[in-house]
Amino acid sequence: MLPFSYALRNLFRDKPRLLQTVLGSAVVVLLVMAAAALTGGMRRVLSASGSPNNTILLGAGSEESVQRSEISEQAAGIAEAAVAGVSSQLGVRGVSTEIHYMTFVKTHAGGEAQALFRGVTPRALLVHPELRLVEGRFPRPGQMMAGRLAHRKLKLSEQDLQPGSKLLVDDGELTVSGVFAAPGTVMESELWAPIGDVRMLAQRETVSCVVLRMERPEDYEEADLFTKQRLDLELSAIRESDYYGRLSTFFRPLRVMTWLTALLVGAGAVFGGLNTLYAAFAARIREMATLQTIGFGRGALVLSLVQESTLACLLGALLASFVAVGLMDGVTVPFSIGTFTLEVTPGVALAGVLTGLALGVLGALPPAWRCLRPALPVALRSS
């Protein structure tokens, strides 16, 4: 076998070509890492947003979208009295009546964006225990509180959603009373206001849903049985985790398109890298033939060429990893129902390393085969 130092020395024989290979592989690896971080971040926020202990009562036929759902407000009181297994804290049962409404908000500076309002009562804090008020207080009539990532979703400055700030909504004005956090969930991109204010904004007499906090995930069966018994209410029960699971399935084509885009751009870079390696290895046909005459087998030569290519591609993967950590890690990406944060997790880093290895090995084999294919007398006479 050829010593590893031989491959390492040859790596720096042509520095412009090495730079081209490193940068090309870095682009491919960075695209793969970005696609992995995007799809992982979206899947992570949707899976974390739904609690298996929460059951959503929606209008029958509106299981795919809580915003389209309409149910009677009296359904909350009826469900609270009839459904067994609802959790209770200090004698207050975990039943939250909510209105989900999307509309445009404006700042006094002229900025405008589409926001998702959630009309709630204080009982919503019993149903969504992951929510924590980090600044200000719970909203009163004429006020609202903003998720800590809502300004990213609305493309506003952070100051626009600080306590005391005012937003124009339809023909009225709401004052920001506080900022809340619900780590890893889509709620951090929402605006919460008293249910009466949101009812007036949406100009509706019904509510979107009733969320029940069950003692155990198995108690969902009680809520499901209730909806089947009270057909007059036209309700449908669904676990909150299942609801967001369906949303994750809905966004699957977007994740597929992300991977396809990365693969198509990566394929272009791979073909460019193949041309570079073909040119590099073609100039060394006589060198390879000489090594064969002194006793090195073709397998040893192929391995040495693969080592060169893999080292260059791993350098590109290392460069891409530094760029990903510096520019991509922690970036917040908005999408239709919220935001999610890109994270360079160990899985994303592993995807980058494996991509670099695959580029180095698979990209070197065709040029190496072409370099070693000529017969030894022909190769020795090549220029």
**All residues at 6 or more sequence positions from 158 whose CB lies less than 8 Å from its CB, including other chains:** 151
Using the 3D structure, point to which of 163, 197, 215 is the last residue of a domain: 215
pLDDT in tens, 249-268: 877 888 888 888 878 877 77
Domains in the chain, number: 2
108-115 LR contacts (CB < 8 Å, sep 24+): 108/166, 108/168, 109/160, 111/154, 111/155, 111/156, 111/160, 113/153, 113/154, 113/155, 113/156, 114/154, 115/150, 115/153, 115/154, 115/190, 115/191
Q: Does residue 73 surpass a pLDDT of 90?
A: no
* Tokens found for residue 187: 């709620």
Provide the 3-class DSSP secondary structure of residue 120: strand
**Which residues are paired to 120 by β-bridges?**
194
Question: In which band, very low, low, confident or very high, does the pLDDT at 126 lie, cut at 50, 70 and 90?
Answer: very high
Residues 111 and 208 in one domain: yes
Same-domain pairing of 62 and 208: yes
Q: What 3-state class would DSSP assign to 322?
A: helix
pLDDT above 90 covers a percentage of the chain that reads 37
Mean pLDDT of the chain: 86
Pairing outcome for strands 191-194 and 332-335? unpaired
Tell me the average pLDDT across 54-59. 93
Listed residue (151, 57, 147) closest to 98, CA to CA: 57
In a domain, 23, yes or no: yes
Residue 242 domain flag: no
Burial readout 63-88 (b: 16 or more C-beta within 10 A, e: otherwise): beebeebebbeebbebbbeebebbbe
pLDDT at 72 over 60: yes
Q: Are the C-beta atoms of 147 and 180 separated by less than 8 Å?
A: yes
Assess whether 142 and 290 both reside in one domain.
no
Which one is predicted more confidently, 372 or 74?
74
Q: Is residue 363 part of a domain?
A: yes
- Statement to judge: residues 201 and 331 lie in one domain: no
Residue 191 scores a pLDDT above 80: yes
Task: Tell which of 190, 215, 240 closes a domain.
Answer: 215
Nearest to 99 by CA among 80, 118, 73: 118
- Is 63 in a helix, a strand, or coil? coil
Say whether both 151 and 295 belong to one domain.
Answer: no
Tell whether the model's pLDDT for residue 127 goes beyond 90.
yes
Contact between 37 and 323 (Cβ < 8 Å): no
Question: Taking the CA of residue 50 as centre, how many other CA atoms within 13 Å lie in the half-sphere pointing to its CB?
Answer: 19
Structural domain contains residue 228: no
Pull the structure tokens for residue 343: 């994270």
Instruction: Please indicate, yes or no, whether residues 10 and 44 belong to a single structural domain of this protein.
Output: yes
Tell me if residue 323 falls in helix, strand or coil.
helix
Within this chain, do residues 338 and 267 fall inside the same structural domain, yes or no? yes
The answer as to whether 120 is a domain residue is yes
Q: How many residues are present in the chain?
A: 383
Query: For residue 383, what pLDDT is reported?
Result: 54
**Is residue 244, in this structure, part of any structural domain at all?**
no
For residue 106, what are the contacts with CB-CB under 8 A and spacing of at least 6? 112, 167, 168, 169
Averaged pLDDT, 214-235: 91
**Does the pLDDT at position 67 exceed 80?**
yes
Residues 38, 63 share a domain: no
User: Which residue segment(s) compose the domain that 59 sits in?
Assistant: 54-215
Query: Looking at the domain assignment, is residue 231 inside a domain?
Result: no
Residues 200 and 282 reside in one and the same domain:
no
Are 274 and 293 contained in the same domain?
yes
Would you place residue 119 in the very low, low, confident or very high pLDDT band (cuts 50, 70, 90)? very high
Do 178 and 311 sit in the same domain of this protein?
no
Q: How confident is the model at residue 274 (pLDDT cuts 50, 70, 90)?
A: low
Residue 245 falls inside a structural domain: no
Is there a single domain that holds both residue 208 and residue 65?
yes
pLDDT for 379: 61
d(Cα 343, Cα 339) in Å, to the nearest integer?
13
